[in-house]
Amino acid sequence: MSATAHPRKVDVLLVGGGPTALITAYLLLKAGLSVNVIERYNKAEQAMYGRACMLYSRSVELLDQIGIFDRIADIGYFVRDSTTFKNGIEIPARGWSFVREAAKGKTYFDFSFSIRQKHIEDTLRAAIAEMDPTAVHAPATLTALAVDPSNDHPVQATVEENGSVSVVQCKYVIGADGGRSTVRSLSQIAFPGTESKHRWVRLDAVVRSDIPIGRKHSAAIESHEYGNVLWTPTDNGRTRIGFVLRDEVYDTLGGNITAEVIESEARKAVQPFSLEFLQLDWWTVYKIGQRVADTFKQGPVFLAGDAAHTHSSGAAQGMNTGIHDATNLAWKLAGVLRGWLSEAVLDTYDAERRTSAQHLIQLDRDVAALISGKIPDHFNAPPDADVNVYLDRVFTENASFTIGLGISYASNVLNKTSSIGVPSPIDALIGHRAPDVILYRPGPAIPTRLQELTRYVGRFWILIFAGALESSPTNVCLSASCAEKYANLTRYIASDVSFACTLAPMFSFLTIVHGSGALQSAEALGTEPLGKTAYDPTGEAYVKYSVEPSEGAIVVVRPDGIVGFRASMDGGSDVTDYFSAFLRPAKAGPGNAQSATTWVLGEISLEDQENDVMISTQGELNDSHASFAALTGVIVVSRSWEVSDVVFVILLVAFIDRDTCSSTCVIMPDCSLHAKRVG
**Claim to verify: residue 672 and residue 634 sit in the same structural domain:** yes
Residues 614 and 574 reside in one and the same domain? no
Give the span between the Cα atoms of 257 and 251, in whole angstroms. 10
Q: What is the DSSP string of 13-38?
A: EEE--SHHHHHHHHHHHHTT--EEEE
CATH code of the domain covering residue 316: 3.50.50.60
**CATH number for the domain including 564?**
3.40.30.20
Distance between CA 378 and CA 391 in Å, rounded? 14
- Is position 279 within any domain? no
Q: Are residues 544 and 663 in the same domain?
A: no
State the Cα–Cα distance between residues 232 and 383, nearest whole angstrom. 31
Tell me, yes or no, whether 228 lies in a domain.
no
124, amino acid identity: L
pTM: 0.86
Same domain, 563 and 618: no
Query: Which of 665, 417, 362 lies closest to 556 in space, CA to CA?
Result: 417
Say if CB 262 and CB 193 are below 8 A apart.
no
Same domain, 441 and 319: no
Q: Which domain holds residue 606?
A: 600-678
Residues 516 and 438 in one domain: yes
621 shares a domain with 549: no
* pLDDT reported for residue 144: 98
Specify whether 551 is located in the same domain as 616: no
Does residue 357 belong to any structural domain of this protein? no
Q: Is residue 424 part of a domain?
A: no
Do the domain assignments include residue 24? yes
Residue 534: inside a domain, yes or no?
Answer: yes
Longest dimension (CA), the chain: 86
- Residues 605, 527 share a domain: no
Residues 451 and 512 in one domain: yes
Q: How many domains does the chain have?
A: 3
Q: Where is the domain boundary, 343, 375, 408?
A: 343
486 and 561 in a single domain? The answer is yes
- Is residue 505 one of the residues assigned to a domain? yes
629 and 673 part of one domain: yes
Q: What is the 3-state secondary structure (H, E, C) of 527-557?
A: CCCCCEEEEECCCHHHHHCCCCCCCCEEEEE
556 is a domain residue = yes
Ranges of the chain with pLDDT below 50: 589-679
